[in-house]
Structure 1
Amino acid sequence: MIDLASHIWTALGFIGALLILGRSDNELRSRGSRIAWALFLATAPTVAIPMFLLFGNRKFGVVAELAERRERERRIARRTYGQRDHSLQAVMGRILGQPLSGGNRLELLGCRGEAGAWLLQQIEGAQQKIWIQTYQYLPDASGRKIRDALAARARDGLEVCLLVDDYGAMTARHRFFRPLTAAGGQVRRFNPLIGVSRMRSNLRNHRKAYIFDERIAASGGINIGDPYLTDGPRAWEDLAFALEGPAVTGLARLFAADWRRAGGRLDSAGLRRSPEAGDADVQLVVSGPDRTDDPIFAALITAIYRAEQRVWIVTPYYIPNEELEYALTIAALRGVDVRLIVPRRSNHPLADLARLDHLQNAHRAGCGIFLYQPRMLHSKLALFDDDAVLLGTANLDVRSLFLNFELGVFSYGAASVRAAATLVETYLAASEPFAGEKTLHPLSRGLMRIIEPLL
């Protein structure tokens, strides 16, 4: 009987391996990933089959439907821009399937108190709706302050919707949010770790969006908690951006879609177009398991290869795949001023080990590597020449670029680019150059390459 069960598991493993080899690259991220899973299933099926069911597929939804929606977006973009317009905005529009939104005002918000004060001000000033989406919600002083402010506005009769990722907000359980739900607010948890879910448990929602009356919004690196919203000794250096204008409507539609995935109901069809508020041209960049491709990754690669003068990148975690690492290497060899600013020490020691080999490679290629000294640096920013800045929620690692639900905004306004460049220069002034003397043992390097997708 035991031998029969063993043979059945082995047969299932080989069948699973063949099925995986037939999967598309989009579903399993790369041919290497596909081959690794196939070997795992063929050699250790009893372990590999449940592991694949939990973690294997990185795309969510019916692939044919996703592909049809993506092609529809691209057809609209091609009609909007045509094929002969080679400006960065037009190229990004065709790649992303997103139109350029004009008439916006974009403002950078620093961390350590500024973003927290802005958030409370908007909560208190909202008239009808407050929609908040965050990856991490900490049940600390800042978390309680925001919760109680939201509860007060719910008692005033406003529509208050709070969406948190179940893994990111695992320390803030249902009991913590009772004052908000008792006041009439709604709280949803995205992709619960325990219970029935249509998504793999490793597909997390890393998006942040703070939307008020469909008129003004914010996004970026900040979550809700003391490290992001206070100015104490343990506060992080982070970055958010406030957005006002027609582009807010796109963020509201994205929130409504994620809210529906979490089991809630919102009428996105009734969203009104936000009035113009400035002169910034922006494009929304939406990436995640609900897309057939990887738009943030594609946008980064395209912008890096197009850059002629500079590529300045700020990221808390630097664990690129081969294509992104190669693009930065080629840019440096072309004479582009490539600078990477990362924290001297992040909050994830394993990520710091995993990045070491990649930093060495970039350093040898001529990229400037700078280690931010004062505190944990959690800002996410990419600056390309004097043309555009990419802001948003994504880190430069495999998880953000290929697994998580993420969002970003390309801003082409001269004021936004100048403000971003000034901010990067303040980071550089507080950083030390990477000397490149540390190296990993070949065994450790191999181990890091295996676990990189999990970090």
Structure 2
Amino acid sequence: MLSTWLSLHGVFTLFSLLVYVLMSHTLHQRRHPSAAIGWVMLLGLLPYLGLPLYLLFGTRKLTRQRAVRALPTAPHRNTLAALAAALGQPPPVGYEALAVHADGAAARTALWAAIDRATHSLDVSTFILGRDGLGDAVVARLIARARAGVRVRVLLDGMGRYLGGHVDLGALGAGGVQVRLFVPPLHSPLRGRTNLRNHRKLVIADDQFLWCGGRNLAAEYFVGDQNKPAWHDLSFNLSGTLAQQASALFAHDWAFAGDEPHPAAFETRQSELSSGAQLIASGPDQRDDTVYALLISACYRAEQRIQIATPYFVPDDALLIALALAARRGVLVELLLPAHSNHHLADWARHRALRTLVEAGARVRLVPHMLHAKLIIVDADWALAGSANLDSRSLFLNYELMVAFHAPDAVTAFADWYQHESINAQTYVSHPPGLWRDLGEGLVLWLAFQL
């Protein structure tokens, strides 16, 4: 009896490991080495628990990926634009009237303008829709546009909906707004993994006007309220062809959330623009880790500066080495972080990487408030802004949206925002960790890459 059980146990263990190997190979599941070791140990030691968990949470890339655009792109003088195109992203296109929002009040004004200007369609994608003054005002405005005859669609992350205070989706539906949840907690495994969240944030009016960035639609991301102090964040708006590309991306996500066939890929004519802007989508629906690949390449091509604003900084070894080597060869590498973010484990996990960068000659600056902005500036011809943090969840798991700007005037606008945000920043002082702190940081880092 025991020998039979051991034989069955061995067969199931081998089967579990085989599933891991096959799915990792066929679905291109790139993982941090510690995450791979963790899964193998769990499947080998506790296969009855490990296999269900792996099937639920273990995959990063979907078999149903976004269609690669049929039209080839023309060569670009900008190597980062060319790399993005090679990774399946649309080519740089023109845009008009870029406005980088100076603060939460300006962002709110631009958001109201985006919603109120819609005459035939209004699409909203967000991770969190708050049950607070800002969120309630968004809901009221969306209902008003729907009752005015505008087709209004709201795509809300299935887990993020619970982080904003349980927004009243029934009121939206009753007001004529179409609402879909992106991968709710309880769903068929065929509809995507629960740990793969939609972090993309955008508002599109009439397929022509785009409001985008890192802000969720809740009070603290704008001007705050009596219960939540305002965070410092980054958003922007523009109009033109780039907004049409964003509309096509929203249509893709909307169809996925409704288990509908993919819409036809948005076709952009061949372009030799080197000073336009480029939509950069990253996540399980992309074959590659797009934002991560661009960041690595940007570090090695930078000549003057790499300036980064992010709330959470937990890079993997390759990105950390790329930043450190850039600093060692004389590039100004500067990070702008909150002194204390809203995720204490992320604050704990970042110190090992920060010490490495400081030793390499990089500058790390800390602001006294919560900074939620996501911005990377490289030299004078590349700025990347949007929803992606510099941690493993954003770079390897979440659905994210960034916009790459190549025009010098656009890069200058984002650089001006960065400099203004840096006014009250203090220099990070690196201290050698004690034994227990070093062990604690290592444990937190190991846990951070198990996702």
TM-score by length of 1: 0.89
Offset from partner CA, 1:406-454 (integer Å, 9 cap, x none):
1111101121111111111122221100001263623212211221136
Q: Is the 8 A contact 2:125 2:200 kept in 1?
A: yes
Q: Which has the higher contact order (CA 8 A, sep 6+)?
A: 2
1:168 aligned partner: 160
1:15 aligned partner: 15
Aligned residues: 441
Q: Give runs of aligned pairs for residues 269-288 of structure 1, distance below 5 A.
A: 281-288=276-283
Offset from partner CA, 1:362-414 (integer Å, 9 cap, x none):
111111000111x1000000000011101111000011000000111110112
1:448 aligned partner: 444
1:248 aligned partner: 243
Q: Give runs of aligned pairs for residues 338-417 of structure 1, distance below 5 A.
A: 338-373=333-368, 375-417=369-411
CA distance in structure 1 between the aligned counterparts of 2:147 and 2:441, rounded to whole angstroms: 55
Compared with structure 1, are the counterparts of its residues 330 and 34 closer, same or farther at alpha carbon in structure 2 (3 Å cutoff)?
Answer: same
CA distance in structure 2 between the aligned counterparts of 1:141 and 1:128, rounded to whole angstroms: 26
2:215 aligned partner: 222
Compared with structure 1, are the counterparts of its residues 285 and 159 closer, same or farther at alpha carbon in structure 2 (3 Å cutoff)?
Answer: same
2:307 aligned partner: 312
Q: Is the 8 A contact 2:245 2:266 kept in 1?
A: no
Q: Is the 8 A contact 1:206 1:405 kept in 2?
A: yes
CA distance in structure 1 between the aligned counterparts of 2:148 and 2:223, rounded to whole angstroms: 27
SS of match in other structure, 1:258: helix
Compared with structure 1, are the counterparts of its residues 11 and 343 closer, same or farther at alpha carbon in structure 2 (3 Å cutoff)?
Answer: same
Tell me which of 4, 12, 31 is aligned to 1:29. 31
CA distance in structure 2 between the aligned counterparts of 1:204 and 1:213, rounded to whole angstroms: 26
Which deviates more, 198-207 or 1-10? 1-10
Compared with structure 1, are the counterparts of its residues 378 and 444 closer, same or farther at alpha carbon in structure 2 (3 Å cutoff)?
Answer: same
CA distance in structure 1 between the aligned counterparts of 2:91 and 2:233, rounded to whole angstroms: 28
Q: Is the 8 A contact 1:311 1:383 kept in 2?
A: yes
List alignment gaps of at least 5 residues for structure 1. Answer: 274-278
Q: Is the 8 A contact 1:106 1:243 kept in 2?
A: yes
CA distance in structure 2 between the aligned counterparts of 1:385 and 1:227, rounded to whole angstroms: 32
SS of match in other structure, 1:101: coil
Compared with structure 1, are the counterparts of its residues 358 and 172 closer, same or farther at alpha carbon in structure 2 (3 Å cutoff)?
Answer: closer
How far is the alpha carbon of 1:20 from its aligned partner? 2.2
1:61 aligned partner: 63
CA distance in structure 2 between the aligned counterparts of 1:338 and 1:138, rounded to whole angstroms: 35
How far is the alpha carbon of 1:349 from its aligned partner? 0.5
1:295 aligns with 2:290: yes
CA distance in structure 1 between the aligned counterparts of 2:87 and 2:266, rounded to whole angstroms: 26
2:131 aligned partner: 139
Which amino acid in the other structure matches residue 449 of structure 2? Answer: P
1:429 aligned partner: 423
SS of match in other structure, 1:358: helix
SS of match in other structure, 1:230: coil
Which amino acid in the other structure matches residue 55 of structure 1? Answer: F
TM-score by length of 2: 0.90
CA distance in structure 1 between the aligned counterparts of 2:167 and 2:133, rounded to whole angstroms: 16
Percent of pairs with identical residues: 34
1:51 aligned partner: 53
Q: Is the 8 A contact 2:213 2:385 kept in 1?
A: yes
Q: Is the 8 A contact 2:248 2:265 kept in 1?
A: no
Compared with structure 1, are the counterparts of its residues 340 and 449 closer, same or farther at alpha carbon in structure 2 (3 Å cutoff)?
Answer: same
SS of match in other structure, 2:100: strand
CA distance in structure 1 between the aligned counterparts of 2:151 and 2:2, rounded to whole angstroms: 58
SS of match in other structure, 1:401: helix
SS of match in other structure, 2:94: strand
Compared with structure 1, are the counterparts of its residues 382 and 282 closer, same or farther at alpha carbon in structure 2 (3 Å cutoff)?
Answer: same
1:192 aligns with 2:194: no
Question: Once superposed, what is the RMSD of the aligned Cα atoms?
Answer: 2.8
Q: Is the 8 A contact 1:389 1:420 kept in 2?
A: yes
List alignment gaps of at least 5 residues for structure 2. Answer: 269-273
Compared with structure 1, are the counterparts of its residues 6 and 187 closer, same or farther at alpha carbon in structure 2 (3 Å cutoff)?
Answer: farther
CA distance in structure 1 between the aligned counterparts of 2:175 and 2:89, rounded to whole angstroms: 40
Offset from partner CA, 1:74-111 (integer Å, 9 cap, x none):
x823xx117xx564433443345421112433221244
Which deviates more, 140-149 or 440-449? 440-449
Which amino acid in the other structure matches residue 197 of structure 2? Answer: R
Compared with structure 1, are the counterparts of its residues 354 and 30 closer, same or farther at alpha carbon in structure 2 (3 Å cutoff)?
Answer: closer
CA distance in structure 1 between the aligned counterparts of 2:38 and 2:265, rounded to whole angstroms: 46
How far is the alpha carbon of 1:30 from its aligned partner? 4.4
CA distance in structure 2 between the aligned counterparts of 1:290 and 1:92, rounded to whole angstroms: 15
Tell me which of 182, 194, 207 is aligned to 1:201. 194
How far is the alpha carbon of 1:175 from its aligned partner? 6.9
Which amino acid in the other structure matches residue 149 of structure 1? Answer: R
2:81 aligned partner: 89
2:271 aligned partner: none
CA distance in structure 1 between the aligned counterparts of 2:145 and 2:235, rounded to whole angstroms: 23
2:253 aligned partner: 258
1:276 aligned partner: none
Compared with structure 1, are the counterparts of its residues 366 and 171 closer, same or farther at alpha carbon in structure 2 (3 Å cutoff)?
Answer: closer
Compared with structure 1, are the counterparts of its residues 237 and 4 closer, same or farther at alpha carbon in structure 2 (3 Å cutoff)?
Answer: farther
How far is the alpha carbon of 1:353 from its aligned partner? 0.6
1:112 aligns with 2:109: no
